[in-house]
Structure 1
Amino acid sequence: MLFTRSFLTLLSLVALVAADPLISRHVLHEKRAHTPAGWARSRKHDAAAVLPLRIGLTQSNMDRLEEMLLEVSDPDSPSFGKHWNAGKVAQTFKPSDETVSTVHEWLKTSGIHPSRIRLTKAKTWIEVNATVEEAEQLLQTEYHVYTHESGKEHVACDAYHVPEHVSKHVDIIMPSIHFDAVIKRDGASSHTLSNIGQPGVGLTPKTTGTISDLLTQLENCDQQITPICLRALYNFVYIPVATSKNSYGIVEYTPQAYLQSDLDMFFTNFSKGQVGQSPKVVSIDGGYAQTEYTGFGYNGESDLDLQYGMALVNPQPVTLYQTGDMVEGASFNNFLDAIDGSYCTFEGGDDPYNDATYPDPYGGYEGPEDCGTTKPAYVISTSYAYNEADLSPAYAARQCAEYAKLGLMGTTVLYSSGDNGVAGNSGVCLNADGACTQSSSATGFNPSFPGTCPYITSVGATQVVAGHSVYQPESACMEVIYSGGGFSNYFAMPSYQQSAVQHYLAAYPPPYSASQYNATGKSRAFPDLSANGANYVVAVDGQFELVFGTSASSPVMGAILTAINDARLALGKGPIGFINPTIYSAGFTGAFNDITNGTNPGCGTPGFSAEPGWDPVTGLGTPNFAKLLARWLLLP
């Protein structure tokens, strides 16, 4: 009798599940590959403790994101150049009413009273203060307290699950698997970069020291790169005429900052009319050009970016987006919040475990978070990057989608591809454990991010070969730094680069196994383009130094693309926007200087080889300004 009654009860439950679409089995939603170095699980979290759960809702039309971007970016599209405004972007991608109601009903039927369920004004995420016990039941997981070797504690789970019918409506839930892998500063006196969300961890320009004698003639460009070398290399002769319509932005992250005295020293020698000129500084989340701390580590990056960016586009003003205060710093997401108000809450908003939070809880900038406070420039260059494996796929995908939104609005986004060849920042590679752990002794190629995002333009590095002139072909950079390049482990290959990359793989198959890199032939490949990254003459702290890095390549490419925008705007046309579909198109074949010499070593290998056509060392090659200008001016 007891067995029969239990069996009937079970049948009733099965019938209930079949009849009620709001009840379904849980499926794995997100899983952390490994516990970051320095952290160890210490104890089970208190069941009665309260967690501020934030559920990022899936955006509408994300399955059409690439299609929509190509409509305004593909030179063969009748809608080429018809960029969207921010309002259309926000309206197109906001979560659907079905998504909001599905997640709301899931929480309610799980025992969360409706009065505790908060939908944000933008309807992009749902917030619930839940006990650990409630959260564990909701997500079929366990929360533990992890302790860092410094003593700091963090709450996280290894993985979490959501009902199958809910999963397509949820992008990300926090707190969950995401980790603060590098400790925040205790105060302004500590200058370790704040956390894994802080750009520039390991990717900084390199210097071989001070320069005793300046070599300013074209015949010396194999030893010292100056603005005239770059103009000769890339046929870049142009004086902007539509500066009031145009814009060029360079992003820096505090504590990296320029010194005006260094700009003036550089301009005195290479662009006399700019002495006393400064960038237009836009402060984001308390960012400012700090002068409390100096040295190459503090001033090298910003001095390099601004000296060459400003000199090459003069008289076009340059906007400096100085991001983050001296205590927390900032992430790429903090910057993106400021230039696109819809992003502040996009897919759940920032991750407090990866992104800086403002007002600064650690005593720095006490103002409100910058959200939609500044207009994005037509071209934005950033010389910082993460290792792709540093971030969860969901976190990287969320940010990558924002770059697509910027492309829809007509902004060209450039990122340095990395300075360690096929290895990641600091020369670390991926272990063959299937968990994306990283170490200096590993052999798995370690791609950079955002370089692997299909909606940005990744810029690698070249150099003038020793003993050669600027009129001879460059090589992939193999002095001090190696051009970052390879294949993503997260992102699929975009349609615009399929032909070029598949040609490379067929004609020049890499001599490596699938255990070393993503050899499927179906993943996003990078870089897209390249520019010189070796032997730059840069004024740093009152003296000239010789500087190397893709940190130089990106702002130089940005300057050239800004000049192309100027010419188009002067003719009443729009900015070039997201350039990848155009530069990979048949109409732009031959518009770049093909680089066929050099490799990008790393992970105990020679890396990939530069070959005719696109390659994962120098991309399509370096720019030929005159050819690019002529072809872009023919487009509507």
Structure 2
Amino acid sequence: MATKKTSTPHISASPRTVLPGSEKSAFVQTAGEKPAPSGTKITVSVVVRRKAPLKVANRLGKQRLTHAQYRKTHGADPAAVKLVRTFAKEFGLTVAPDTPGPERRTIKLTGTVAAMQKAFGVTLVHKTHDGTTYRVREGSITLPTDLVGPVEAVLGLDNRPQAQPHFRIAGEAGDLTANIAQAGGFAHPHASGTSISYTPPQIAALYQFPPNASAAGQTIGIIELGGGYKTTDLTAYFKTLGQKTPSVKTVSVDGGKNSPTNANSADGEVMLDIEVAASVAPGANIVVYFAPNTDQGFIDAIATAVHDTTNKPSVISISWGGPESSWTTQSLNALDAACQSAAALGITITVASGDNGSTDGLTDGSNHVDFPASSPHVLACGGTKLIGTGSSINSEVVWNEIANNEGATGGGVSNFFPLPTWQANANVPAPTNSAGGRGVPDVSGDADPSTGYIIRVDGKTLPIGGTSAVAPLWAGLIAVANAQNGTTAGFIQPAIYAAKGAAAFNDITSGTNYSGSPTGFTAGPGWDACTGLGSPIGTKLIAVVNPSSTSTSKGGKSKGSKKKPVRTRPARKPHAATNRRKAAAGKRR
């Protein structure tokens, strides 16, 4: 007698549950909207859980993993991948041919708008804002209950802009040259004109980077969500510096491309990042990861760079971001998870902390921090106003030109990420939300456009500032440190927040980042929510971040642990030595 075959229940018939953290806020008010064309094909990124969570020691960079070890133990959970593939088939979606390997934990699914709406329980509409039409979803994503847990995020249903570049152009208000390069209105000319400007190597000299430093053998990854660069500009720029033009490669993520233009672009951001990072770290290779300006593009770009075993960046610079409150919880977690992976793999990520002071440009009567700077797994970079000559700093204070509508350093306390262990003694103010506590920024550097960086953009030479300049400056310093120490610095916060780290910083004790109501934060001795631990004393910082005996997950020494001698020279101390564990109770918040 034949055995009757039992059919397997379809996932599509299962009860549906909201994907935690997927709620998307309402889009800006527009004159009208219409349904997204049902037959249009789109691609989403489905992020699934790891085989096994990263250990605390991995996330703190104390127990590093090789890419092979990471992939084997912390790549995508095969059971979750199987569920998603079954789900996709039942809803008429296909796995995209460019789906990355299991280390990325991302499955790219392609299908029509109609199929996506049914699969993820959403309504997709077209809304036009400032002349651009976006595909928008509002509210939550729902999934068959069995997929909630195995699936951690679904990105790409909505393609509204997620981030802004954090740079400011110095120049007369309304100046055509400044407007051409200011990223479609994101950057703003400095109305009073520039009083001082420096080449990046001059700023490096003020911060005591080793003279004649080389970062040969290192690769600096740069994340860009728009704009582009012209090789002719780079050749001309580095010729004026007397340096060899760096090797610059591009990697396309989710269709992003190197697209330089003369107007309405983020070329100023791209050129600032490349020219600062490469000129203060001569000999380093530069790899630019271009992605669309969406949460999907941003997260995919970082994950691509972190797991790029072809170009192997040892440090990644990010000068884009947006208020923490403008991100969905699933996106905050997915991007932070990519940064955790970087820490486990010995890769440093430097991130601009924002250019709109303590409110991060919002007008809701609250202070806000910028993300991804608020991730506890990146080095958040704030801004100062620097005046100096040669290798001597005359003054350095918090960058704040809000009164002149010219920007200020971002900084404050996260309402999402808790206080990290390495900030426990930094006297970080209490968060507004009890779930938060992570203090921003960690470090700082020159950012005021009135003491800006001389940068070439689209054939023009302009003084540019913003915390966008500080992230590649620190990335360049880390690349030099990696070359001199013979091993990657990796996740440096435990080292720089330790007592021994104090001597590696110029402590910034004057200024505020107030940017409206409520009151912002004030600089003072030790860490503060304006400039973090301070600006770098390069040669000392290189010694502090040298991981003398970093271990892998199997207890062995990391590759390249051989030390190289660090060249030093007497460093000027613009501030008296400060005990960074001293309570900052006297700071006015």
What is the TM-score with the length of structure 2 in the denominator? 0.71
Q: Counterpart of 1:558?
A: 475
Per-residue CA deviations over 1:28-51 (Å, capped at 9, x if unaligned) read 634525211145896899999999
Q: Counterpart of 1:339?
A: 305
- The letter for the 1-side match of 2:290 is T
2:36 counterpart of 1:68 = no
On the 8 A contact 1:485/1:600 being kept in 2, the answer is yes
- The letter for the 1-side match of 2:26 is T
| Deviation for aligned residue 1:531 | 0.7
Aligned residue among 514, 523, 529 for 2:443: 529
| Deviation for aligned residue 1:86 | 1.9
Q: Structure 1: 5+ residue runs without aligned partners? A: 1-21, 182-195, 212-220, 342-371, 430-440, 510-516
| Deviation for aligned residue 1:208 | 2.2
Aligned residue among 235, 256, 261 for 2:228: 256
- The within-5 A match list for 1:1-12 is none
Q: Counterpart of 1:234?
A: 207
Aligned residue among 278, 284, 309 for 1:310: 278
2:301 counterpart of 1:379 = no
Aligned residue among 205, 219, 234 for 1:247: 219
| Deviation for aligned residue 1:556 | 1.5
Specify whether residues 519 and 170 from structure 1 end up closer, same or farther in structure 2 by C-alpha distance, changes over 3 A only: closer
Specify whether residues 560 and 144 from structure 1 end up closer, same or farther in structure 2 by C-alpha distance, changes over 3 A only: closer
- Distance in 1, Cα, partners of 2:351 & 2:113: 41
In structure 2, the residue corresponding to 1:385 is in which secondary structure?
strand
Per-residue CA deviations over 1:288-333 (Å, capped at 9, x if unaligned) read 6656x3369654333333333333222x2331415259x9999333
- Distance in 1, Cα, partners of 2:39 & 2:455: 57
- The within-5 A match list for 1:134-153 is 143=123, 145=125, 147-148=127-128, 152=133
Q: Structure 2: 5+ residue runs without aligned partners? A: 1-12, 178-193, 550-589
Per-residue CA deviations over 1:493-513 (Å, capped at 9, x if unaligned) read 32222321xx242xxx7xxxx
| Deviation for aligned residue 1:23 | 8.3
Specify whether residues 521 and 232 from structure 1 end up closer, same or farther in structure 2 by C-alpha distance, changes over 3 A only: farther
In structure 1, the residue corresponding to 2:227 is in which secondary structure?
coil
Per-residue CA deviations over 1:374-420 (Å, capped at 9, x if unaligned) read 42321222222233333211022112211221222221111111111
Aligned residue among 547, 550, 566 for 2:464: 547
Q: Counterpart of 1:206?
A: 169
Q: Counterpart of 2:326?
A: 390
- The within-5 A match list for 1:174-189 is 179-181=158-160
- Distance in 1, Cα, partners of 2:267 & 2:59: 36
Specify whether residues 102 and 555 from structure 1 end up closer, same or farther in structure 2 by C-alpha distance, changes over 3 A only: closer
2:432 counterpart of 1:496 = no
Aligned residue among 93, 111, 127 for 2:74: 93
Q: Counterpart of 1:442?
A: 364
- The within-5 A match list for 1:25-36 is 26=17, 29-36=20-27
- Distance in 2, Cα, partners of 1:281 & 1:134: 34
On the 8 A contact 2:414/2:436 being kept in 1, the answer is no
- The letter for the 2-side match of 1:527 is P
| Deviation for aligned residue 1:88 | 1.9
Q: Counterpart of 2:489?
A: 576
Identity of aligned residues (%): 22
Give the aligned length: 504
On the 8 A contact 1:146/1:154 being kept in 2, the answer is yes
- The letter for the 2-side match of 1:381 is S
Specify whether residues 251 and 91 from structure 1 end up closer, same or farther in structure 2 by C-alpha distance, changes over 3 A only: same
| Deviation for aligned residue 1:578 | 1.6
Specify whether residues 180 and 280 from structure 1 end up closer, same or farther in structure 2 by C-alpha distance, changes over 3 A only: closer
Specify whether residues 54 and 40 from structure 1 end up closer, same or farther in structure 2 by C-alpha distance, changes over 3 A only: farther
On the 8 A contact 1:253/1:323 being kept in 2, the answer is yes
Aligned residue among 253, 268, 280 for 1:300: 268
In structure 2, the residue corresponding to 1:490 is in which secondary structure?
strand
- Distance in 2, Cα, partners of 1:321 & 1:615: 32
Q: Counterpart of 1:455?
A: 377
On the 8 A contact 1:205/1:547 being kept in 2, the answer is yes
- The within-5 A match list for 1:364-443 is 372=308, 374-424=310-360, 427=361, 429=362, 441-443=363-365
- Distance in 2, Cα, partners of 1:586 & 1:469: 25
- The letter for the 2-side match of 1:255 is G
Specify whether residues 260 and 34 from structure 1 end up closer, same or farther in structure 2 by C-alpha distance, changes over 3 A only: same
On the 8 A contact 2:287/2:311 being kept in 1, the answer is no
On the 8 A contact 1:253/1:330 being kept in 2, the answer is no
Q: Counterpart of 1:635?
A: 548
Per-residue CA deviations over 1:455-505 (Å, capped at 9, x if unaligned) read 1111111112699994345111124331111222332332222321xx242
- Distance in 2, Cα, partners of 1:405 & 1:477: 32
On the 8 A contact 2:339/2:378 being kept in 1, the answer is yes
- Distance in 2, Cα, partners of 1:538 & 1:134: 47
On the 8 A contact 2:444/2:535 being kept in 1, the answer is yes
- The letter for the 1-side match of 2:527 is W
Specify whether residues 631 and 128 from structure 1 end up closer, same or farther in structure 2 by C-alpha distance, changes over 3 A only: closer
| Deviation for aligned residue 1:117 | 9.4
- Distance in 2, Cα, partners of 1:307 & 1:376: 20
- The letter for the 2-side match of 1:57 is V
Aligned residue among 516, 535, 541 for 1:622: 535
Q: CA RMSD in A?
A: 4.4
The 10-residue stretch of structure 1 (615-624 or 247-256) with the greater mean CA deviation from structure 2 = 247-256
- Distance in 1, Cα, partners of 2:134 & 2:544: 56
Specify whether residues 487 and 416 from structure 1 end up closer, same or farther in structure 2 by C-alpha distance, changes over 3 A only: same
Bigger radius of gyration among the two? 1
- Distance in 2, Cα, partners of 1:409 & 1:98: 25
On the 8 A contact 1:40/1:146 being kept in 2, the answer is no
Aligned residue among 518, 537, 540 for 2:432: 518
| Deviation for aligned residue 1:529 | 0.6
- Distance in 1, Cα, partners of 2:151 & 2:460: 53
Q: Counterpart of 2:563?
A: none
| Deviation for aligned residue 1:124 | 5.5
- Distance in 1, Cα, partners of 2:411 & 2:422: 18
On the 8 A contact 1:460/1:531 being kept in 2, the answer is yes
2:79 counterpart of 1:59 = no
In structure 2, the residue corresponding to 1:389 is in which secondary structure?
helix
On the 8 A contact 1:451/1:526 being kept in 2, the answer is yes
